[in-house]
Amino acid sequence: MFDRRLYTHLDWSLLAAVFALCLLGLAMIYSTTYEAATGRVGPQLARQLWALAIGVVAMVVCLGIDYRLLSNRVALIYGGVAVLLACTLVIGSEQGGARRWIDLGPVNVQPSEFARMAVALALATFFGTSQRVRARGLDWVVGGLVVAAPFLLIIVQPDLGTAVTLLPVCLAVMVFAGLRLKLLAAIALVGLLLSPVAWMYALEDYQRTRLASFIDPERDPHGAGYQQIQARITVGSGGLSGKGFLQGTQSQYNFLPVAHSDFVFSVLAEEQGFRGVLVVLGLYLFVIMRSLEAARVAKDRTGLFLVVGITAGFAFQVIYNLTMSAGLAPVKGLTLPLMSYGGSSLIATLMGFGLILNVGMRRFAS
């Protein structure tokens, strides 16, 4: 299955950038969970290291099996994830009023993180193997249903943040499959017009306060606006060259909540300064650009759609999290892929890059 040609066509620079981000993430998890009083690091670091190891294995598997083979088995993969999501609602362990995890003894698995990969593969297969060059009519409905099933299963957990990350995957694949940009713009306009209705009926109270506090964080500086104000202070106080590793007062003294997951980038900005920010921004931009390059050279439409879908989900999450880290977006439980703490997310993301590399290196394969 592994011939020398594949090996030479592997995008080593993309792989290196991905692992560089993982290592930076580990360093920031070390910093944010380090306790000066005891001199010990939280258990999160070890868990993340295990997840990285599993992620590497999963990545190699996703890399090794030809994506067309996976595409042929898409029904099994998609169905499996859907069943897992359904199971989560029933046997999932409840934390903070939400059922998002399946407890497997030593580890918790978050199936929704894997849903994005399954959806990308399913959509890519559906549109890529279609007999029509440009999809139309019924195709959009079928594609929509492919996304809608896991989307709804995740949203009732409830986990709006993760569910929303399915949308860029779906939209990107559909646009590349022929959805007109004008139509997309029209949908966006309708969405905008309907947003007051959504505000009134679709959002929970806590979501409304979060949005309101984003628009005016000073309104409730100790409540909903707190994280946003603290995020800006954290980032701004870092300055050009940062306070130094383990020296960030905002993160070390817990002024910034969930620093090791949602706000890991704010901590990096505080401790490493604007220079560190530029390095990491550069790495993420490089990773996204190299992924789009893999899409450009893809041998077939299925490969193209698959890479586009995964990259869109990744880019959306990265951009949103970076914006939120600077206190410029409402606080949503969206982590920074590759860097934030979270085993399932890391494994799923690495599997995604396995698929991207898979498509890229099989560009000449028959």
Partner 1 sequence: MHPDLTDDRLSAARERCRFLLRLAQAGIASAFCVIALSFWSFQVGQHVRFAEMAENNHQRVLNLRALRGAVVDRNGDVLVQNRYSLDICLIREQVADLERTLALVADATGSDPEALRDALADGADVPVYRPVALIKDATQAQVAAVAARAFELPGVVVERNPTRHYPSGTIASHLFGYVGEVTDSQLRAATDERIRVGAVIGQSGVEHSYNRLLMGEDGARRVAVNSIGRELGTLEELPPAEGQPLQLTIDFDMQKAAEDAFAHAGFTGAAVALDPRSGEVLALASLPAYDPNDFARGIDGSTWSMLNNDARKPLQNRALQGRYSPGSTFKLVVAAAALQEGVATPDFQVDCQGGGVFYGRFFRCHSRHGTVAMDEALEKSCNTYFYTLGQRTGIDAIHRWATALGLGRPSGIDLPHEATGTVPSREWKRRQLGERWYPGETISVAIGQGSVAVTPLSLAVMMSTVANGGKRVVPHLLKAARTADGWIAADRPLPSSIDLNPATVETLQRGLWMAVNRAGTAGRARIRGRDVIGKTGTAQVISLEGRAAAEAANGDSRRFRDHGWFVFAAPRDEPQIAGVVLAEHAGHGYLAAPIARHMLETFFAKQADRPLPVLPPRARPAPADAMEADG
Q: Rule CB under 8 A: is residue 285 a binding residue for partner 1?
A: yes
Site for partner 1 in 328-357 (CB under 8 A): 328
Stretch that binds partner 1, among 17-25, 147-155, 230-238, 338-346 (CB under 8 A): 230-238
Q: 241 by DSSP, 3-state: which?
A: coil
Question: How many Cα atoms within 13 Å fall on the side-chain side of residue 48?
Answer: 23
CB of 329 to partner 1, least distance (A): 10
Stretch that binds partner 1, among 25-33, 185-193, 325-333, 349-357 (CB under 8 A): 325-333
Amino acid at 116: R
124: its two tokens = 């890519």
Tell me which of 73, 132, 208, 219 binds partner 1, using CB under 8 A: 132
Q: Using the structure block, give the residue that is written with the tokens 């606006």.
A: 225
Question: Tell me, what DSSP letter sits at residue 92?
Answer: P
Using only C-alpha atoms, the chain has a radius of gyration, in whole angstroms, of 21
Site for partner 1 in 4-43 (CB under 8 A): 36-37
Q: Which of 169, 139, 196 is nearest to 307 (CA)?
A: 169
- CA distance linking residue 118 with residue 77, whole number of Å: 6
Q: Rule CB under 8 A: is residue 359 a binding residue for partner 1?
A: no
Backbone φ and ψ for 40, nearest 5 degrees, come out as -110, 160
Q: Rule CB under 8 A: is residue 234 a binding residue for partner 1?
A: yes
Amino acid at 285: L
Residue 313 near residue 78, CB atoms below 8 Å:
no
Task: Mark 41-80 with x for binding to partner 1 (rule: CB under 8 A) and - for no binding.
Answer: ----------------------------------------
C-alpha to C-alpha distances, 170 to 28, 136, 175, 223, nearest whole angstrom: 32, 15, 9, 35
> Which segments within the chain are labelled E, that is strand?
34-35, 40-41, 93-95, 98-104, 107-109
Task: Mark 239-278 with x for binding to partner 1 (rule: CB under 8 A) and - for no binding.
Answer: xx--------xx--xxx-------------x---xx--xx
Q: Rule CB under 8 A: is residue 279 a binding residue for partner 1?
A: no
Q: Rule CB under 8 A: is residue 208 a binding residue for partner 1?
A: no
Stretch that binds partner 1, among 66-74, 111-119, 155-163, 172-180 (CB under 8 A): 172-180
Continuous segment of H or E residues that includes residue 100? strand 98-104
Nearer to partner 1, 53 or 328 (CB): 328
Site for partner 1 in 82-121 (CB under 8 A): none
Nearer to partner 1, 152 or 246 (CB): 246
Tell me which of 77, 236, 299, 333 binds partner 1, using CB under 8 A: 236
Tell me which of 10, 49, 86, 233 binds partner 1, using CB under 8 A: 233
- CA distance linking residue 90 with residue 48, whole number of Å: 27
- CA distance linking residue 278 with residue 257, whole number of Å: 24
Q: Which residues of the shown chain bind partner 1 in the complex (CB under 8 A)?
A: 36-37, 131-134, 172, 175-176, 178, 230, 232-240, 249-250, 253-255, 269, 273-274, 277-278, 281, 284-285, 288-289, 292, 295-296, 304, 308, 312, 315, 319, 322-323, 326-328
